[in-house]
Amino acid sequence: MKNALHLADSGSRALSYLLGALCLTLAAAVFATSLAPAAIAEWTLEVFGLSFIGLFSALVFISLFAWVRLGQRPQQTDFWLEVGLHGANGVSTLALTFTLLGISLGIGTLAEQDLTPDTVQAIIGDLTKHFSLAFLTTVVGLPTAAVLRALLSISVEARKIGGRL
């Protein structure tokens, strides 16, 4: 029972960090674009899609959960470091996978339609939408993965020299 409470506590903390980062990111986006939060959320869902957002959030949560556990379980440092690093590497892999998916969908859209002066505008619109997915997943995923890896590695090194997480 006590172990389950510790896991729930770690999950709660990791979720709090994830939601806090989401709030800060949304605030920065509102400041940078002057759009309403609802408009930013709608655009994000339209561009990235529910599958990328769901998988991305799950992998970030796994890394944050491992980071929290690093602070709570110093005797299991190697295990939780590996879990967290695998989650962060999963974010990189997901970003690059969706990059290739976006490029493939764009090329597939181009290959399926006849290119005439009348259809060029619509085809370019579809192509741009798919390429937007391709590049934005990389722009978001790779830096996020780098930050997660740094957070985990630096925290472990700080603990080794006697600092706290």
Question: Residue 53: inside a domain, yes or no?
Answer: yes
Q: How far apart are CA 23 and CA 26, in angstroms?
A: 5
Stretch 143-155: mean pLDDT: 96
Question: Residue 24: inside a domain, yes or no?
Answer: no
Whether residue 155 is predicted with pLDDT greater than 60 in this model: the reply is yes
Tell me how many domains the chain contains: 1
Which of 9-18, 56-65, 109-118 comes out lowest in average pLDDT?
109-118
Question: Residue 12: inside a domain, yes or no?
Answer: no
Enter the pTM of the model.
0.87
Question: Residue 83: inside a domain, yes or no?
Answer: yes
**Among candidate residues 120, 135, 106, the one with its CA nearest the CA of residue 47:** 135
Whether residue 165 is predicted with pLDDT greater than 60 in this model: the reply is no
Q: How confident is the model at residue 164 (pLDDT cuts 50, 70, 90)?
A: low
Question: Residue 8: inside a domain, yes or no?
Answer: no
| Exposure b/e, 59-90, CB count within 10 A at least 16 = b | bbbbbbbbbbbbeeeeeebeebbebbbebbeb
Coil, strand or helix at 96: helix
Question: Residue 20: inside a domain, yes or no?
Answer: no
Question: Residue 1: inside a domain, yes or no?
Answer: no
Q: What pLDDT shows up at residue 69? A: 93
Question: Domain of 121?
Answer: 43-160
Question: Residue 93: inside a domain, yes or no?
Answer: yes
